[in-house]
Amino acid sequence: MVDLLNTKFDAIVIGSGITGGWAAKELCEQGLKVLVLERGRMVEHPIDYPTAHLASWQLPFGNLPDQHSFTQQAKQSRSGFATNQDIKHWFVNDIQHPYQENKRFDWLRGYHVGGRSLIWGRQCLRLSDLDFNANAIDNHGVDWPIRYNDLAPWYDKVEQFIGVMGEPLNLSQLPDGKFLPAMPLNSVEKDLRASINKHYQDRYLTIGRVAHLTVNKNFEGRSQCTYRNKCMRGCPTGSYFSSNASTLPAAKKTGNMTLRPHSIVSKINYNERTKLATGVEVIDTNSHKKFTIAANIIFCCASTVATTSLLMQSTCRRFPHGLGNDSGQLGHNLMDHHFRIGATATVSKFDHLVDQGKRPVGFHIPRFRNLVPSKKSDRNFIRGYGYQGYATRSDWRRGIKEMSFGADFKEQLFNPGSWQVALIGFGECLPQYENKLSLDYSKLDPWGLPTVTFDCQYGDNEINMREDMKTQAVGMLSTAGYENVQAYDDGSFPGQAIHEMGTARMGKDPTTSVVNKHNQLHSVANVYVTDGSFMASSGYQNPSLTYMAFTARAAAHAVKQFKQGLF
């Protein structure tokens, strides 16, 4: 048992999710003694996934939310899925963990070891130089201090360790990766792909690039996906990547990791003489006792909002407005992807075909708008979007709303219903200074810490983009000859995509950004920020792969600095 109070660790990692697991793995494997602090409870792989093997009929209320969930998780319930009986235990209680909204923001959180790596969508899409160059070209946000080639080897490293299946496309806007064999498209998806290939010069449909194993070898303690498609319940076989199944076991194997759950980091301490952080102040979530732990290096991996809140709380004479906040940008430029828009259709010509299994991933149509960087688009929006989608056959549940009865009706429901196909647009969000989070010291949480207030909304660029997302989805499904093509726009609020990012942005200039190209705070070199906080722009791509690649890159830099005696 490590004596936390009398041990100075080489590094402290705050958070145990997607980036915290990677920071722990990389630092431990290089010989550093690392303490991982997680504010939530312990979750052990593979035993702590209580609903993983249950059928819907074995869950209360047929897996539908109950009134207690709507009361205790009112904001989480707005997602439409977080309060279902099979996964509601992965999401926080809104009453115990409150926040405020000047404008609606759906902050979906899970406080436990592994964090949202247990419930993420697993899409692994690389950013490209189209994304890294965008801010500099169209003058939104600040220029990224790196380009694709700087990050490419780290994408390689991450993909080869976590296991990403996919299909190479050789597209400049979506670089290929180190892929495992791809899961196959079904018949309707292949038909839609053929139609797109025939009628469009600039569009491609491919299987989603996801962190699911399609092979059994080379991934210690993990096995090939079994097509159960109950991923958000937790995967006992480790078939999809999570911190619990992958990076944290790798860190533990070294003997260099100490993991402490139930530990809220309330402040990062700073030494004005050395100009370095000295450690962290911690609150035990159960006892509310406070204590200080020393370390040479701090990795902030608590997730965008939590990390930014921590930096803002970490005030001192040198940093009265938050640690490293010389630029005044801390808390600003909050981004999330906008989605829940596109089109649906039915497809009758494949009614004789039935899919086997429950493939846990849909298809992807990469970005095709504004592929030539320019200060001004020939459309009424800049940047771009892609689509995620699926084709599936309806089941017996289609009969619930039918005004029918009798033996013939029941017999009919034993057979699958019609094929349905959906295109769901995912669009880029521009960085805007006005989109922000702030701390409210008049409204404290149960541990005496300030709560967060969100002030964030999508702007004209996102709104204009959404019209094109809907129009093009209708066009592709109509061109394919499908029936009952219908556009939809269910509305999208920041936070719903669970891709919040940007509030401690990366940049070249310390007067306009918070961290440098190595993810270090410009003015506190031994504090690294590698969760979504550092993002200078959002791209349209799901961001977790990029967070992991930057984390691995930053850890290598931190180890080198540490071994040179600079920390």
Written as one string, the DSSP assignment of 266-316 is: EEEEEETTTTEEEEEEEEETTT--EEEEEEEEEEE-S-HHHHHHHHHH---
Helix (H) / strand (E) containing 199? helix 187-199
Asked whether residue 405 carries a pLDDT value surpassing 60, the answer given is no
> Any long-range contacts for 146-149 (C-beta under 8 Å, 24+ apart)?
146/517, 148/175
Find the angle CA(466)-CA(468)-CA(469) to the nearest 5 degrees: 60
What digits encode the pLDDT tens for the residues 38-52? 999 999 999 999 999
CA nearest neighbour of 476 among 257, 243, 204: 204
Does the pTM surpass 0.85? The reply is yes
pLDDT of residue 338: 98
What digits encode the pLDDT tens for the residues 86-107? 999 999 999 999 999 999 999 9
Q: Decide the pairing of beta strands 8-14 and 34-37.
A: parallel
pLDDT of residue 372: 86
- Give exposure, 446-471, as e/b (b: 16+ Cβ within 10 Å): eeebbbbbbbbbbeebbeebbebbbe
Q: For residue 314, report the phi and psi dihedrals to the nearest 5 degrees.
A: -85, 70
What is the rounded distance in angstroms from the CA atom of residue 550 to the CA atom of residue 389?
A: 28
Average predicted confidence (pLDDT) for the chain: 94
pLDDT confidence of 7, banded at 50, 70, 90?
confident
C-beta of residue 541 within 8 angstroms of C-beta of residue 386:
yes
What is the rounded distance in angstroms from the CA atom of residue 109 to the CA atom of residue 76?
A: 8
Q: For residue 296, report the phi and psi dihedrals to the nearest 5 degrees.
A: -85, -30
Domains and CATH numbers, the chain: 1-43+121-163+249-335+500-567 (3.50.50.60), 180-240+338-427+458-493 (no CATH)
Asked whether residue 411 carries a pLDDT value surpassing 70, the answer given is no
Q: For residue 558, report the phi and psi dihedrals to the nearest 5 degrees.
A: -65, -40
What is the rounded distance in angstroms from the CA atom of residue 550 to the CA atom of residue 558?
A: 12
- The end-to-end CA distance of the chain, in Å, is 26
pLDDT of residue 545: 98
What is the rounded distance in angstroms from the CA atom of residue 284 to the CA atom of residue 278?
A: 20
Q: Which residues lie closer than 8 Å to 555 by C-beta, 6 or more apart?
A: 22, 23, 26, 27, 30, 299, 528, 530
448 DSSP 8-state letter: S
Asked whether residue 323 carries a pLDDT value surpassing 90, the answer given is yes
Asked whether residue 137 carries a pLDDT value surpassing 60, the answer given is yes
pLDDT of residue 248: 98
Asked whether residue 145 carries a pLDDT value surpassing 80, the answer given is yes
Q: Which residues pair with 291 in a beta bridge?
A: 282
C-beta of residue 495 within 8 angstroms of C-beta of residue 310:
no
What is the rounded distance in angstroms from the CA atom of residue 447 to the CA atom of residue 539?
A: 36
Q: Decide the pairing of beta strands 276-284 and 290-300.
A: antiparallel
What digits encode the pLDDT tens for the residues 202-230? 999 999 999 999 998 889 899 999 999 99
- Give exposure, 129-143, as e/b (b: 16+ Cβ within 10 Å): ebbbbbbeebebbbb
CA nearest neighbour of 193 among 486, 476, 541, 488: 476
What is the rounded distance in angstroms from the CA atom of residue 24 to the CA atom of residue 33?
A: 9
Q: For residue 550, report the phi and psi dihedrals to the nearest 5 degrees.
A: -65, -35
